[in-house]
């Protein structure tokens, strides 16, 4: 049984039919990527899973329970964390306060062990723990947004374009972190426009085009797929 199962969802913004019958699964321990161009429907899909948008038809199941009609904060409590596009951290708060906010669904006794774990994963955040988040670089803010999501001890971590707007060296660092989270057993649903990087770290991937899944396969299969190469990997 899949950890997350999205079946035939249709999502609209008023008259705009943004997601047209999308189905996919994420199994425990996998990194699964959803790649696609700007406007393909990647963020809409993640927002629908986390309860911010509601599908007109279709189903979303997490740990065999339907998420339809469940409030977003309850979905976080169930173990599903969503790092939105554009990494929204609390700019006026310190790094450590941002991380503590991420643990709001957890008992108080888990906050300090959670911080230790996140600091072990992101030494850069530990060095800057007292600094306000607004003074961090873009890459560090992305690390903070990921660390904050991890503070909820999620069963599934959803990342919306973590590499967006970052310099190549920081993109490499973010993907190294994704790989080490994967090795540690974290299940990840990764949405990316950077298909090359995403498919390199993913067990499996799906290609989304104008609201529909057009291709799927293992990361390696998609990296070698002629149409994927042409459309997303620069030939
Ligand atoms: N709030 C909104 N109102 C109307 N249309 C939207 C809204 N958000 C997204 N869309 C449209 O839905 C489609 C999918 O958008 P989105 O999920 O943001 O794509 P992606 O994340 O892949 O770039 C696009 O055509 C976009 O213009
Ligand atoms: Mg998006």
The secondary structure of the chain, three-state, reads CCCEEEEEEEEEECCEEEEEEEEEEECCCCEEEEECCCCCCHHHHHHHHCCCCCCCEEEEEECCEECCCCCHHHHHHCCEEEECCCCCCCCCCEHHHHHHHHCCCCCHHHHHHHHHHHHHHCHHHHHCCCCEHHHCCHHHHHHHHHHHHHCCCCCEEEEECCCCCCCHHHHHHHHHHHHHHHHCCCEEEEEECCHHHHHHHCCEEEEEECCEEEEEEEHHHHHCCHHHHHHHCCC
Q: What percent of the chain clears pLDDT 90, i.e. is strictly above it?
A: 92
- Atom 16, ligand 1: which residue's CA is nearest? 41
- Atom 26, ligand 1: which residue's CA is nearest? 39
Q: Ligand 2 mean position to 84 CA, how many Å?
A: 9
Q: Say if CB 211 and CB 17 are below 8 A apart.
A: yes
Query: What distance in Å separates the CA atoms of residue 111 and residue 219, rounded to the nearest whole number?
Result: 35
Mean pLDDT over residues 61-81, rounded?
96
State the average pLDDT for the chain.
95
Domain assignments of the chain as residue spans, ordered by start:
4-232
Pocket test for ligand 1, best of 9, 17, 35, 41 (most atoms within 8 A of CB): 41
Model pLDDT, residue 194: 94
Model pLDDT, residue 69: 95
Q: Residue 106: pLDDT above 90?
A: no
Model pLDDT, residue 141: 95
Residue 38 CB–ligand 1 contact under 6 Å: yes
What is the per-residue pLDDT across 6-39, written as a single tens digit (0 to 9) for each?
Answer: 999 999 999 999 999 999 999 999 999 999 999 9
Q: Residue 235: pLDDT above 80?
A: no
Predicted confidence band at 222 (pLDDT cuts at 50, 70, 90)?
A: very high
Mean pLDDT over residues 44-62, rounded?
98
Q: Is the dihedral of CA 8, 13, 18, 20 positive or negative?
A: positive
Residue 39 CB–ligand 1 contact under 6 Å: yes
Residue 16 CB–ligand 1 contact under 6 Å: yes
Residue 13 CB–ligand 1 contact under 6 Å: yes
Q: Ligand 2 mean position to 130 CA, how many Å?
A: 31
Model pLDDT, residue 202: 98
Pocket test for ligand 1, best of 9, 10, 12, 18 (most atoms within 8 A of CB): 18
- Tell me the CATH number for domain 4-232: 3.40.50.300
What is the per-residue pLDDT across 143-198, written as a single tens digit (0 to 9) for each?
Answer: 999 999 999 999 999 999 999 989 899 999 999 999 999 999 999 999 999 999 99
Q: Residue 104: pLDDT above 90?
A: no
Residue 46 has which token pair? 């993640």
Model pLDDT, residue 88: 87
Model pLDDT, residue 189: 98
Mean pLDDT over residues 60-84, rounded?
96
Q: Ligand 1 mean position to 44 CA, how many Å?
A: 6
Query: What distance in Å separates the CA atoms of residue 218 and residue 204, rounded to the nearest whole number?
Result: 4
Q: Which atom of ligand 1 is nearest the CA belonging to 45?
A: 17
Q: Residue 105: pLDDT above 90?
A: no
Query: What distance in Å separates the CA atoms of residue 24 and residue 7, rounded to the nearest whole number?
Result: 7
Model pLDDT, residue 32: 98
Q: Is the dihedral of CA 191, 194, 197, 199 positive or negative?
A: positive
Residue 40 CB–ligand 1 contact under 6 Å: yes
Q: Ligand 2 mean position to 131 CA, how many Å?
A: 29
Scanning the structure block, which residue is given the tokens 């950077």? Answer: 194
């Amino acid at each position: 049984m899949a950890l997350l199962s999205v079946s035939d969802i249709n999502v609209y913004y008023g008259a705009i039919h943004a997601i047209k019958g999308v189905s996919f699964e994420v199994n425990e321990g996998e990194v699964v990527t959803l790649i696609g161009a700007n406007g393909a429907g990647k963020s809409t899909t993640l927002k629908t899973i986390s309860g911010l948008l509601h599908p007109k038809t279709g189903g979303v199941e997490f740990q065999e329970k339907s998420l339809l009609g469940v409030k977003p904060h309850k979905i976080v409590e169930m173990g599903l964390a969503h790092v939105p596009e554009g990494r929204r951290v609390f700019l006026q708060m310190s790094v450590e306060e941002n991380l503590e906010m991420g643990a709001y669904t957890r008992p108080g006794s888990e906050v300090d062990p959670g911080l230790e774990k996140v600091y072990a994963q992101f030494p850069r955040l530990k060095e800057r723990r007292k600094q306000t988040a607004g003074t961090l670089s873009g890459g560090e803010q992305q690390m903070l947004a990921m660390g904050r999501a991890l503070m909820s001890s999620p069963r599934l971590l959803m990342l919306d374009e973590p590499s967006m707007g970052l310099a190549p060296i920081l993109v490499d660092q973010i993907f190294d972190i994704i790989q080490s989270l994967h090795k540690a057993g974290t299940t990840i649903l990764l949405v990316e426009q950077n298909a090359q990087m995403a498919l390199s770290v993913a067990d499996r991937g799906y290609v989304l085009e104008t609201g529909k899944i057009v291709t799927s396969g293992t990361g390696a299969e998609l990296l070698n797929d002629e149409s994927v190469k042409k459309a997303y990997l620069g030939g």
